Structure 1
Amino acid sequence: VVTVVINYRLGSFGFMASKSMQGNYGFMDQRLALEWTNKNIAGFGGNPAEITIAGQSAGGMSVGAHMASPKSKGLFSKGIMESNPLALPFHSRDTATENADAVAEYLGCADDDVACMRTKSMDEVLEAQDKAPTLNLDNLFINFLPWSPLVEADGEIPEQPLTALQRGEITQVPMLGGSMRDEGQLFVYELFTKPMSEKAYHATIMGVFGKDAYPQLIHKYPYDVVEGSTDGRQALNVIATDLLFYCPLRNVTRSYQNALGTKALPTYIYRFTHVISFDCWGPDYEFCVGWVCHGSELPFVFHVFDDGVSLYYEPTADELELTENLANYWSNFLTNGDPNKGLKTPAQFPLYLGTRDTILELNQPGTQTETHFRDSYCDVWDKMGYFY
């Protein structure tokens, strides 16, 4: 496997858009890197006909965006989406312009005065991008992505990736994707820094989702949905994990397969449930100790426990075996489009079919398949919709 790691413009430098700024510069950087790779990878021993794009978190969102972008068609043959929060919407031109105008005002410039903003230093712009964007009350979840890609009918990304995936209007390639057991933990505990009472939890559900959704959500996700919990943040973790990560992935895969029928290419979905034994979170993320937080799979996927690579981690024998298993699944998919063909793996990675909803639980010991996982919860979100 030949690995290509790219850089692209981030934040306001990559995704600021307004009436006079096109936006999506970071996304176009990514596509230019894909074009370069297609043109040159043979010189490094690679095969331009077998390019897999892969990413985690924002990188996973990028993979979904390239699948939804007609301009990226033909530049890759497989996709890996790790922890893609598919239910976080990309920006419209209006939302992006509001953020750009807020940055301009913070910098002492008139709205959409690009020439004025270009006179400011990089540090000034970075400070403005962090402090200036306004709170969007029409869609609270959009505030998690103040600098996201832009969706426009005639633009780089013509519609929300979730919508494009649902309809099958995408670059059709084999796909491997999944999420962590506790994806929401990191985001919820960063947002709510103190334990949450039952009263505050109910008020939060009402405030975020509204009175019509409130009864059904409180029924499915009571304050003590995590057995023995006396902190509403743990219930919010479960909601965020379902709503933003697992359930929309289930939804788009089902919808994609229904839309394309026998033409749908293979999809494999996993759930990573291993609680890391060593301290890798640091003082800022102590709330992830004992949980399977966003990013927990990365040390295992990237094989950081090899001699001479990891100086600080002390994995158990089971964890060394788990990293070997994940590396083999991923390598098999990269080379064959099937995580089961090639290197030895501990269990069959099931082909995802919406009729059975069978996924692979990645843990050690205990990698195993799960069928109809969280169906009753995801059915609620499918009915209610995802873009809050």
Structure 2
Amino acid sequence: MAPVLERDLSSYPRSLNETSSDGKNIYQTEKKAPACPSAFEFGNSTTEDCLYIDLFVPKKAIEEKLALEIFLYFHGGAFLAGTNVVVGPNRGAIIASEQNIIVMSANYRFGVFGFMFSNSLQDRIAPEHGIKYNDNLPVSGNQGLMDQQMAMIWTRENCKYFGGNKEKITLGGMSAGAQSLHAHLVMDSSKELFQQAIAFSGPQGIPYYNAEEGELITEGIAYLTNCCEGPFVPGIQPRCNPNRPIDSDVIQCMKRKSTEEIQEAAWKLVQAAPLDNFQRLTMIAEPYSPIVGTGMLKEMPFFHFQKGEIHHKPIIIDVADNEGWKFVEPVMFGLPCDNNNSVCDESWDRLKSFLFSDDDNHKIDESGIYNCPADGSECLEKVDEFLTDFTWYCNMQKCLIDGISGLLPDYTGNPVANAQEGHVNWELFSVNKQWLDVGKNASKEFAMQTEDPRATACALWNTIDLYMTI
């Protein structure tokens, strides 16, 4: 991993008072923080010195020494890109003012910089902050999640200085930010750092790498940055010589590489590694993502959710429509077609043949849910439906029904349907029914399937039962 530079504050103007009353320097934060380097894109607007938090605080919180609730947000970006400035003044300041809360938005590392695993690359937050990890497993590969933990710790330790209440911290996240929240909701090391969470449309259907796969990816980066020797065979993932795997010397060599050299290697690795290396969507959608089987994250959040192993905190979890749309192009990219008039149809069939067995493909085709229409241009919409259903919606519903809440909303019939003048017939219901039934052993009899607009699609995926396998 390229070196993290010492924080250089020389470019920030000092306040009129050189020091505060306690003798510590005060810096005016008038410039937006730089973004962290993306996985592949190069540019001067990013730097590894990027771990900043933006604050939007109602003026009276400081003037009246209040202790307001805090909303700490983590951006999305498929663990490949993004920045905390998505919550700019036109959003953060307005929300803070209108809702009388403190809005915070934190940067964190992503891509190869945030999720590089190796048994020779052990990372942990300084012990004085009280964070403990499972020492029976390697604590590596989840630097991005540690950055988020450090943002929570900083918030808890410092919010009293800007009118915040450390016992009322709500985490928010969108897409990869929501995936991060799913992890924090099951990680023991994050349990005491926040009180509530709102996870906006985080996919539960993209399996993360395990430690062995993470080590292979790091070997590929090491080879492509000339930090280890090994045979390169076209079509086979680059890796170090098995007789000399990743060690401290290789790690030090990689740390001496520039940000751009690491980014270039990360890009080359994704291009060089055949898709069947890991036989799933991860290498397409999130080629650099959290690592399971580690001291931070034992297994996929999906399985923790499914077993009811989740912190007992108030949470809101949602899935937005058409989440798969942004991923349609990458999952269809590079799949050759013989007939230009049916590019979408043929590419879609090729993608399905890569992901599913012949038997499962037959079930998918027989359902007719994702069959391409006669107009080939509309086939992309079917790919979007597939990605949204399988990667976001249905697997999320599956793990929530199985482990978190045995009762989802259920609706009575339309009372107007059988109406007579002067009389309305309501459907029968039991007023004694327990409307909120929570826990892994909860009843499922009122799970909302019949009214669910994607019930048919989810029934298909529940039958095929490939969650967390591709």
Asked whether 1:139 is paired with 2:279, we answer yes
Asked whether 1:187 is paired with 2:317, we answer no
**1:122 matched residue in structure 2:** 259
Which residue of 104, 124, 139 corresponds with 1:4?
104
Which of 1 and 2 has greater Rg? 2
Q: Is the CA contact (8 Å cut-off) linking 2:332 and 2:348 kept in structure 1?
A: no
What do residues 65-84 of structure 1 show as CA deviations (whole Å, max 9, x unaligned)?
A: 10111110121121111121
Structure 1 position 85, deviation (Å) = 1.2
Q: Secondary structure at the match of 1:48?
A: strand
**2:382 matched residue in structure 1:** 235
Q: 1:45 to 1:371 in 2, by over 3 A?
A: farther
Structure 1 position 57, deviation (Å) = 1.1
**1:220 matched residue in structure 2:** 367
Q: Is the CA contact (8 Å cut-off) linking 2:343 and 2:376 kept in structure 1?
A: no
Structure 1 position 192, deviation (Å) = 2.6
Asked whether 1:38 is paired with 2:156, we answer yes
Q: How far apart, CA to CA, are the structure 2 residues paired with 1:203 and 1:121?
A: 38
Q: Secondary structure at the match of 2:298?
A: coil
Q: 1:64 to 1:223 in 2, by over 3 A?
A: closer
Q: Which has the higher contact order (CA 8 A, sep 6+)?
A: 1
TM-score calculated relative to the size of structure 2? 0.57
Q: 1:10 to 1:207 in 2, by over 3 A?
A: closer
Q: Is the CA contact (8 Å cut-off) linking 1:192 and 1:233 kept in structure 2?
A: no
Q: 1:191 to 1:204 in 2, by over 3 A?
A: closer
- Counterpart of 2:115, as a letter, is F
- Counterpart of 1:202, as a letter, is D
Q: How far apart, CA to CA, are the structure 2 residues paired with 1:257 and 1:190?
A: 33
Q: 1:226 to 1:372 in 2, by over 3 A?
A: farther
Asked whether 1:253 is paired with 2:333, we answer no
Q: Is the CA contact (8 Å cut-off) linking 1:226 and 1:234 kept in structure 2?
A: no
Which residue of 170, 177, 180 corresponds with 2:317?
177
Q: Is the CA contact (8 Å cut-off) linking 1:86 and 1:248 kept in structure 2?
A: yes
Aligned length: 290
**1:201 matched residue in structure 2:** 348
Structure 1 position 10, deviation (Å) = 1.9
Q: How far apart, CA to CA, are the structure 2 residues paired with 1:36 and 1:227?
A: 56
> Which structure carries more helix by proportion?
1
Q: Which moved more, 1:207-216 or 1:196-205?
A: 196-205
Structure 1 position 220, deviation (Å) = 2.5
Q: 1:358 to 1:352 in 2, by over 3 A?
A: farther
Q: Secondary structure at the match of 1:213?
A: helix
Structure 1 position 180, deviation (Å) = 2.4
TM-score calculated relative to the size of structure 1? 0.68
Q: Is the CA contact (8 Å cut-off) linking 1:50 and 1:77 kept in structure 2?
A: yes
Q: 1:136 to 1:173 in 2, by over 3 A?
A: farther
Structure 1 position 99, deviation (Å) = 0.9
Asked whether 1:155 is paired with 2:295, we answer yes
Q: How far apart, CA to CA, are the structure 1 residues paired with 2:343 and 2:141?
A: 39
**1:93 matched residue in structure 2:** 211
- Counterpart of 1:63, as a letter, is L
**2:37 matched residue in structure 1:** none
**2:305 matched residue in structure 1:** 165
Q: Is the CA contact (8 Å cut-off) linking 1:60 and 1:83 kept in structure 2?
A: yes
User: Is there any run of 5+ residues in structure 2 with no aligned partner, and where?
Assistant: 1-100, 122-139, 229-239, 241-245, 334-339, 410-434, 439-443
Q: Secondary structure at the match of 2:319?
A: strand
Q: Is the CA contact (8 Å cut-off) linking 2:345 and 2:372 kept in structure 1?
A: no
Structure 1 position 165, deviation (Å) = 0.8
Q: Is the CA contact (8 Å cut-off) linking 1:16 and 1:23 kept in structure 2?
A: yes
Q: How far apart, CA to CA, are the structure 2 residues paired with 1:352 and 1:79?
A: 20
Structure 1 position 226, deviation (Å) = 6.4
**2:467 matched residue in structure 1:** 386
User: Is there any run of 5+ residues in structure 1 with no aligned partner, and where?
Assistant: 269-349, 360-369
Q: How far apart, CA to CA, are the structure 2 residues paired with 1:245 and 1:228?
A: 26
Q: Is the CA contact (8 Å cut-off) linking 2:372 and 2:378 kept in structure 1?
A: no
Q: Is the CA contact (8 Å cut-off) linking 2:203 and 2:391 kept in structure 1?
A: yes
**1:320 matched residue in structure 2:** none
What do residues 344-386 of structure 1 show as CA deviations (whole Å, max 9, x unaligned)?
A: xxxxxx9899655559xxxxxxxxxx93231221122233131
The percentage of aligned residue pairs carrying the same residue is: 28
Q: How far apart, CA to CA, are the structure 1 residues paired with 2:324 and 2:388?
A: 5
Structure 1 position 200, deviation (Å) = 4.1
**1:371 matched residue in structure 2:** 451
Q: 1:357 to 1:102 in 2, by over 3 A?
A: same
Q: Secondary structure at the match of 2:316?
A: strand
Q: Is the CA contact (8 Å cut-off) linking 2:370 and 2:385 kept in structure 1?
A: no
Q: Is the CA contact (8 Å cut-off) linking 1:54 and 1:81 kept in structure 2?
A: yes
- Counterpart of 1:219, as a letter, is E
**2:34 matched residue in structure 1:** none
Q: Is the CA contact (8 Å cut-off) linking 2:203 and 2:392 kept in structure 1?
A: yes
Q: Is the CA contact (8 Å cut-off) linking 1:221 and 1:239 kept in structure 2?
A: no
Structure 1 position 94, deviation (Å) = 1.0
Asked whether 1:82 is paired with 2:82, we answer no
- Counterpart of 2:313, as a letter, is V
